Amino acid sequence: MADAAPLPPTNGDMSGAVGAWNWDIASRLLVADARFASLYGLDPAAAAAGLPASAFFEPVLEQDRLRLRIAVAGALRGAEVFARDYRVLLDGEVRWVSARGRTYFDETDTPTRFAGRLTDVTEQKRLEERLRIAQTAGGVGSFEYLSGYGTADVSDEFCRLLGLHTAKSLPVRTINSVVHPDDPPIIQGRDGSGALGTAFHEFRIHRADTGEERWLASRGEYRPADRGGVSFIGVIYDITASKRSEAALRLLTETLEERVEARTQERDRIWNLSGDLLNIIEPDGTQRAVNPAWKRVLGHDEAELVGRSMECLIHADDLPLARTRLEALARGEPVAAFDTRLRAKDGSHRWINWTGMSDGETIYGIGRDVTQRKLLEEQLRHSQKMEAVGQLTGGLAHDFNNMLTGVMGGIDMARMLLAQGRLEDVDRLLEASMQSGQRAAALTHRLLAFSRRQALDNQPLDVGTLIGSMQDLLRRTLGEQVELHIDTPFELWTTLADESQLESAILNLAINARDAMPDGGRLTIAARNASLSEADLAGSDQAQPGEFVEILVTDTGLGMPPEVLAKAFDPFYTTKPVGQGTGLGLSMIYGFVQQSRGHVAIESQEGRGTKIRLYLPRHDGGSEGEATPEMPTAITGSGEIVLVVEDDPAVLRLMLDALRELGYRTIETASGKEAVPILQSRRHLDLLISDVGLPGLNGRQIAEIARQIRPDMPVLLMTAYTRDAGDEAGFLAPGIEVMQKPFSIDQLGRRVTRILRSPHGNSSAGVG
């Protein structure tokens, strides 16, 4: 082994036993010394004399053998450097050995022998493994540097801490290049002139892989090296966390006062400048502080608010909601944003959206004025309603076409039979046509109620009598499961309303109530006199404060959750299965009540039932006795003269025929132009019947002219689509009535008879 070329450097010093081998490639003979023999468990004499080269693999642990053979194969084929650590099994004990060797060549560059040294590194392996685990677990990286050299020996963890690829040695430049330029480098004293002894310093790095800034500390020792120069051996570890908390703490103490001052100013500014209402409230609702926005938004001075309960500003309808939210806040529960109306100084109300927070003792409120938004929402809702109407119209056209087909088809058939002289079936066909027509009329009636364009036949009405008369109908409708209670005092005021509409509304509500009580329950229909203030009527666009007759329909049914309640009056909104309801019920009631200048209120709690209140204005005109009784059976005239204005020839012909049939005399005109001279003439007239929609003077104008010329002559206006009449329903001058088209001859007859027999009609006379 004397001529062995310099071996490559090995890790650590070889403290274990060192043996030597020489493998002659041509003869395949392995010669080894006694040390090698003892490490391999070979007979020293035989090893010295030469063994078959396969002896090199014999004691090697199975798992390591193949890899060793490949490495040796490389060496035998000219790989110069051989370095391999592997395990041998000796007397049942596993030992780690480290083989370092090289291949030697002859002058023709042919490999001749493979020789090297074998070291027992069992102990070293164990220490290395421990050190590796210690470094990895502790996040400690070690390094060793010898002054004057360009590279330093480093551990894997060292590389990992700096974000470098792991390597056994790294250029000092590479190591120091990750250090922050303002901080001392990791490897110092490269010329070996620094002081000996321990050293400690802290520094920032930018990790080579991610660029992240970290704080590291280095602790080490400068010692004179064996080979001359100075060695610097040490460790590095991460101190970022403690550095950061240290820095944060320092900053905190240095700037605490300044920041407290600054924050206070900042908060004052927010408090003062905020456009939102800010307040601080005691758990009982007393306001402790309010910001200037209260003055700007609502007009109230701070002095008027502080020390008083917030509740005195909240709209009565919103109070229950506000109370539950305040109570929840007082208990420290989180509360989602909610809206309430607050009374402003000028008496108007503003919608405020509240966010509340509580620290258990004090409630902090932030209120934003959302009145504008509410308004927009209302408009949006309305436009959505209109869109829905549009959708409905399409469906209605379809239904109407079907009904018209029934009407026209029946008439057509009847005409055919008449032409053939088959009179026996005509009546049946006409009856079918009539039913189709009536169905269509009923549908338009309902629709117009919904769209508030129905010409209401408002009359003084005793609600108690009406409800009483409905008892039988209601009981039949409700069935045996539902107990009906009716509670109507005798001293109930008279109201002004369309009787059939009110009847239909009450019936609808009763049906809804029945459906809400599938397992039975109690339905109470009550009526009483009530006075409503402006506050009570907030949200109503038709009713004026004053006296009303209140009709309460209360059930003990399922009730409605808030989201259903909110939409209860929306058209087509229904919770019933498809086919069981149009969804028009409540909205039609709403339309009818609004049109009657009344008000509707609904209260419901899930599982607790629903209470609906209808308010109809008190009729201040007449006494109960004035309630018009339905006319007696006789519907024939006795030669009274009726002036008819109608531009549609078919309708005109029909009406003239009908009136004559009923025993009236008629004067026909097609327009105001023709009618006015007749009105102005001295001719005796008992009644004017006019269509509203006419070319030139419309029906209303003709009626007005008639009132001036003949104040006592009754007028009956007919309308198919009564925008004007509808909006003014109930407010027509006395003696002018409106009749909704279409109508049957029977209806016309009854109406005319009633008008002519009423006091106005009776006193009718010619001009002069």
Partner 1 sequence: MTSLIVPLDDLERDALTELVNIGVSRAAVSLRKMAGEQVLLSVPAVEVVTRRGATTLIRERESGALIAVRQDFAGVFSGRALLIFPESNSMALVRSVTAGSLSAEDAAELEDEALAETGNVVLNSCLATMANMLQKPLTMSLPEVVRGDGSALFDLTLSNSEDAVVLFLYINFAINDREIRGYIAMLMDLPSIEALRGLIAEFIARVIGDAM
Distance (Å, whole) CA 319 – CA 363? 17
Q: In a 10 Å sphere around its CB, with 0-12 CB exposed, 13-18 middle and 19+ buried, how is residue 591 labelled? A: buried
Q: Which is nearer to partner 1, 113 or 445 (CB)?
A: 113
Report if residue 71 touches partner 1, rule: CB under 8 A.
yes
- State how beta strands 230-238 and 140-146 pair: antiparallel
- Which of 31, 37, 72, 652 forms a contact with partner 1 (CB under 8 A)? 72
Q: Which is nearer to partner 1, 211 or 421 (CB)?
A: 211
Report if residue 28 touches partner 1, rule: CB under 8 A.
yes
Q: Are 554 and 561 in contact (CB under 8 A)?
A: no
User: What are the tokens at 526?
Assistant: 């009550």
| Minimum CB distance to partner 1, residue 257 (Å) | 48
Q: 552 pairs with which residues across the strands?
A: 526, 613
Report if residue 6 touches partner 1, rule: CB under 8 A.
yes
- Which of 41, 52, 479, 562 forms a contact with partner 1 (CB under 8 A)? 52
- Which of 80, 282, 457, 515 forms a contact with partner 1 (CB under 8 A)? 80
Q: Which is nearer to partner 1, 105 or 731 (CB)?
A: 105
Site string for partner 1, 250-289 (x = CB under 8 A): ----------------------------------------
Report if residue 47 touches partner 1, rule: CB under 8 A.
no
Q: Which is nearer to partner 1, 92 or 181 (CB)?
A: 181
Which residues neighbour 605 within 8 Å (Cβ) at sequence distance 6 or greater?
A: 559
User: What are the tokens at 23?
Assistant: 């493998």
Residue type, position 506, single letter: I
Q: Are 40 and 59 in contact (CB under 8 A)?
A: yes
Q: Taking CB under 8 A as the criterion, which residues in 141-200 touch partner 1?
A: 160, 164-167, 170-171, 173-174, 177
| Minimum CB distance to partner 1, residue 110 (Å) | 11
User: What are the tokens at 475?
Assistant: 């009981």
| Minimum CB distance to partner 1, residue 79 (Å) | 4
Report if residue 76 touches partner 1, rule: CB under 8 A.
yes
| Minimum CB distance to partner 1, residue 166 (Å) | 7
- Which of 54, 265, 372, 402 forms a contact with partner 1 (CB under 8 A)? 54
User: What are the tokens at 29?
Assistant: 């003979």
| Minimum CB distance to partner 1, residue 67 (Å) | 5
CA atoms within a 13 Å half-sphere pointing along the CA-CB vector of 401: 6
| Minimum CB distance to partner 1, residue 196 (Å) | 28
Residue showing tokens 């108690």? 464
Q: Which is nearer to partner 1, 173 or 250 (CB)?
A: 173
Which residues neighbour 397 within 8 Å (Cβ) at sequence distance 6 or greater?
A: none
Pick from 4, 191, 172: nearest CA to 104: 4
- Taking contact as CB under 8 A, which single stretch among the options 73-81, 248-256, 285-293, 663-671 is the one that binds partner 1? 73-81
Which residues neighbour 205 within 8 Å (Cβ) at sequence distance 6 or greater?
A: 162, 178, 179, 180, 213, 214, 216
- Which of 44, 74, 663, 742 forms a contact with partner 1 (CB under 8 A)? 74
Q: In a 10 Å sphere around its CB, with 0-12 CB exposed, 13-18 middle and 19+ buried, how is residue 721 labelled? A: middle
Report if residue 73 touches partner 1, rule: CB under 8 A.
yes
User: What are the tokens at 470?
Assistant: 């409905």
Distance (Å, whole) CA 363 – CA 357? 6
Report if residue 465 touches partner 1, rule: CB under 8 A.
no
| Minimum CB distance to partner 1, residue 220 (Å) | 22
Q: Which is nearer to partner 1, 80 or 603 (CB)?
A: 80
- Which of 11, 67, 265, 386 forms a contact with partner 1 (CB under 8 A)? 67
User: What are the tokens at 481?
Assistant: 């499961």
Which residues neighbour 687 within 8 Å (Cβ) at sequence distance 6 or greater?
A: 640, 641, 642, 643, 713, 714, 715, 716, 752, 755, 756, 761, 764
SS3 426: helix
- Which of 5, 45, 195, 578 forms a contact with partner 1 (CB under 8 A)? 5
Reply yes or no: is the peptide bond before residue 59 cis, omega within 30 of 0: no
Q: What is the strand order of the sheet 521-532 is part of?
A: 482-487, 521-532, 546-555, 609-617, 599-605
Report if residue 415 touches partner 1, rule: CB under 8 A.
no
| Minimum CB distance to partner 1, residue 159 (Å) | 9
| Minimum CB distance to partner 1, residue 228 (Å) | 19
Report if residue 46 touches partner 1, rule: CB under 8 A.
no
Q: Are 714 and 733 in contact (CB under 8 A)?
A: no
Report if residue 81 touches partner 1, rule: CB under 8 A.
yes
Q: Which is nearer to partner 1, 174 or 575 (CB)?
A: 174
- Which of 4, 83, 486, 627 forms a contact with partner 1 (CB under 8 A)? 83
Binding positions for partner 1, rule: CB under 8 A? 5-6, 8, 28, 52-54, 66-67, 69-74, 76-81, 83, 103, 105, 109, 160, 164-167, 170-171, 173-174, 177, 208-209
